[in-house]
Structure formats: structure tokens, C-alpha cells
């Protein structure tokens, strides 16, 4: 039962994660140099909404444009999502 919950239940999600890493050849780098990715993949401190938000830099469209208005709404939804995840 423990083996099922620890491995088999989450296997599809892990395989999807691995496939995503394969799109940028990152999975192969992880396998060949695991020590380089340890801090990124195995953090000791809690991940907060601020931590995740700092991973991305926003490149807005011109102030006053219709795209900018949409981008502002999307960023608002993104920040709400991050807070909900905490």
C-alpha cells in the first residue's frame, strides 16, 4: 500500500513532469549533473508567492494600450493564484 501511494499513484504526474523537462533537454542535464540542480529542485526553505513571483520578469506592452489592460488583469489573476497556493 505504501509503495502504491509513494510511487504508482503519482507516476503519471512525474512522467508528465519529466516529459516537460525533456522539451528543453533539461532532464538529460539533470541526470548527468544532479549536483548542479540540487538547490533548484530541492530547496530547504519554503516556497512562497514572493519566491515564485521573483522567478518571472513581466514585460508589459505600452501604457494605455488595450494589450496593457489585458496584461494587468492577467497579472492580477496570476498573483491571486500564487496567494491561493500558499
**Cβ-contact 86, 48 below 8 angstroms:** yes
Query: Average pLDDT over the chain, rounded to whole?
Result: 87
pLDDT at res. 34: 87
Domain limits, the chain: 1-44, 46-86
**Cβ-contact 37, 30 below 8 angstroms:** yes
How far is Cα of residue 78 from the mean position of the Cα atoms in its chain? 12
Mean pLDDT value of segment 6-35: 87
Band of residue 63 on the pLDDT scale cut at 50, 70, 90: very high
Q: For residues 44-75, b (16+ Cβ closer than 10 Å) or e, as one string?
A: eeeeebeeeeeeeeeeeeeeeeeeeeeeeeee
Mean pLDDT value of segment 66-86: 92
Amino acid at each position: 500500500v505504501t509503495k502504491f501511494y509513494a510511487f504508482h499513484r503519482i507516476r503519471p504526474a512525474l512522467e508528465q513532469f519529466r516529459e516537460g523537462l525533456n522539451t528543453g533537454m533539461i532532464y538529460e542535464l539533470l541526470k548527468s549533473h544532479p549536483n548542479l540542480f540540487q538547490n533548484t529542485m530541492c530547496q530547504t526553505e519554503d516556497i512562497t508567492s514572493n519566491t515564485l513571483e521573483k522567478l518571472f520578469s513581466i514585460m508589459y506592452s505600452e501604457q494605455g494600450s488595450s494589450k496593457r489592460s489585458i496584461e494587468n488583469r492577467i497579472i492580477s489573476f496570476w498573483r491571486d493564484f500564487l496567494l491561493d497556493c500558499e
